Amino acid sequence: MKRKTPLVTVSAVVTPAIAEEIHRLSAASGMTKSQMVRELLEAKLTERANERQEDAYDRLEKRLKRIEDRFSSLIVKNMKYSAQALYLGMKALEFSGKPQGKSFLDKHWNESLEFAGKAAESKTTKKVEE
């Protein structure tokens, strides 16, 4: 009976110790030496493929972690700048039409940094009461 998928013959030279071990394994498993060598090769090739796949997953995981960290930093930075803009906008409305000196502008800038830092650190959001 002909096989549907033909097998390809591969020759290899092995040491007598390896040949003896293959013979012992095949006798213990009740299969031919050819079947035992095929099974051993398949097992080793599968193991190598799994190692490559795990390595690729590890690299991908590290890359995703780095991207996640960068996006987290970007989000925090944007929150800080938004809070500063909110604070400075509120001050602009409060003092609209009134001239202010450099010292007041520096004071407001420093207060906006403090306000933004507190806004970025706060973990809860306050809901606007209706």
For the chain, domain boundaries:
16-121
Q: Which is higher by pLDDT, 121 or 42?
A: 42
Q: What is the pLDDT of residue 1?
A: 58
Confidence of residue 31 (pLDDT cuts 50, 70, 90): very high
Q: For residue 128, is pLDDT > 50? A: no
Q: What is the pLDDT of residue 130?
A: 37
Q: Which is higher by pLDDT, 79 or 128?
A: 79
pLDDT tens-place string over residues 54-101: 999 999 999 999 999 999 989 988 888 888 888 888 788 777 777 777
* Lowest mean pLDDT, pick from 22-26, 36-40, 63-67, 105-109: 105-109
Q: Three-class SS string for the chain?
A: CCCCCCCCCCCCCCCHHHHHHHHHHHHHHCCCHHHHHHHHHHHHHHHHHHHHHHHHHHHHHHHHHHHHHHHHHHHHHHHHHHHHHHHHHHHHHHCCCCCCCHHHHHHHHHHHHHHHHHHHHCCCCCCCCC
* Lowest mean pLDDT, pick from 38-52, 54-68, 109-123: 109-123
Confidence of residue 127 (pLDDT cuts 50, 70, 90): very low
